[in-house]
Amino acid sequence: MQHLSTKTNGVVSTLRYSTASSAFYWGYIIAVLPMALMLQRLPLARTLSLLIFLWGVTVILTVVVSSYQGLIVQRVFLGVLESSVSPGFVMITSQWYTASEQATRLGIWYSATGIFSVFSGVVNYGLGKAGGPLHPWKYMYLFAGAWTIVWSAVVFFVIPDSPETSHRWFNDEERVILEARSRRSMVGARGNTAVNWSHVKEAATDVKVYLYLLMGASIYICNGGVTAFGARIVSSFGYSSLTTIVIVIPGGVFTMASWVHRGVPLFGYYLLPCFGAPYVLLLSLSAANVSGSTKKAITAGAIFIGYNVGNIIAPYLVFTPEKAIKYRSTWIAIITCMVITSIISLLLRMIYTRENTRRDALERSGSSEAVNVQEKQQELDQTDKQNMAFRYSL
């Protein structure tokens, strides 16, 4: 793709590159909340598999784009389709696992990002060296799109829509156990449910939802600039383009032998994927600490809106004239956002602790209206604020 960089007075401008990178997140931020609510209403796994299939097709169609304007449109549609994936996986995790189990399970599927970064880095390097009638980058998109389509079939045939419809994999006795586990977590109604407008109102007035959003934005300002410009940043350390493809593989297994001068900033670059850990914890916090089907969907959407805001802002924090000083302002912005994330996490802990203490005191005094709704939570579909028996996980 040509014309993603322009040169003015001898200085390369990456504004078009930044815009093309951000266009994906424009589509994502517009669609993520409607997608989350749609997945709540429709059969979850089947709907998600269809959207993943269309996502893979759209990735493949990248190779036919021949203009800057076409690339922007294509990436907007790519963002719209991909906006269903992470909220859908969060919903699947909260359906099948208890609050104490969700953090580990979320971490497992989210870690696939890093695992396949290694895998795709090796594959892309091989495709770059293989040659052929097409430009190497086109083979990369063809491979990624085809692999995505394969996994849409896996989702369709392997993952049930809910524990209640898992007859293929579990017998009646096992499904009773699954439903009992869900009731203990007090997550609210599962399966295909209508939008509950009282949940919408509560989510709109719950400060915790906005803190989740801010944390998502702060964490992914880290990701946006480094993902979009990672190759440029690493190449500024003095590596060639093809070598850069290899050494941006997490862990840098191909370059640890050259630990002189350039290795120090490169090691700092390798530490950046650590931002994934607090993001996984954020997803697990929201999954465990938000109850009520519609409120959970809205909260997941809010976090991913923050994810997109961070990714949209971040590419514009990479200033080309600072290449000689290794993009100093970019690193300052990233460090600042990590500090903000830490402060917000402490604030959330304070809010959780205070509310748990208040509910415990009301229960001991007998003035609480809380009742044991564990057995009826599936039918009542109460939020974490409505259900006074609910306790927040720290």
CA distance 147 to 124: 13
CA distance 270 to 144: 23
* Tokens of residue 79, six digits: 């963002």
pLDDT tens digit sequence for 182-230: 776 655 555 556 788 889 899 999 999 999 999 999 888 876 556 555 5
CA distance 246 to 316: 25
Q: Using CB atoms within 10 A of its CB, is residue 254 exposed (0-12), middle (13-18) or buried (19+)?
A: middle
pLDDT value of residue 95 = 83
**Res. 250: pLDDT tops 50:** no
pLDDT tens digit sequence for 74-94: 999 999 999 998 888 888 888
CA distance 190 to 165: 11
- The candidate with the shortest Cα–Cα distance to 369, out of 390, 392, 353, 340, is 390
Paired with 8 in beta bridges are: 11
**With the CA atoms of 193, 199, 204 and 209 taken in that order, what torsion angle do they form, in degrees rounded to the nearest 10?**
-80
CB neighbour burial string for 1-26, b if at least 16 within 10 angstroms, e if fewer: beeeeeeeeeeeebebbbbbbbbbbb
Identify the residue with better confidence: 158 or 231.
158
pLDDT tens digit sequence for 267-315: 666 666 666 778 878 888 888 888 888 888 889 889 988 988 887 887 7
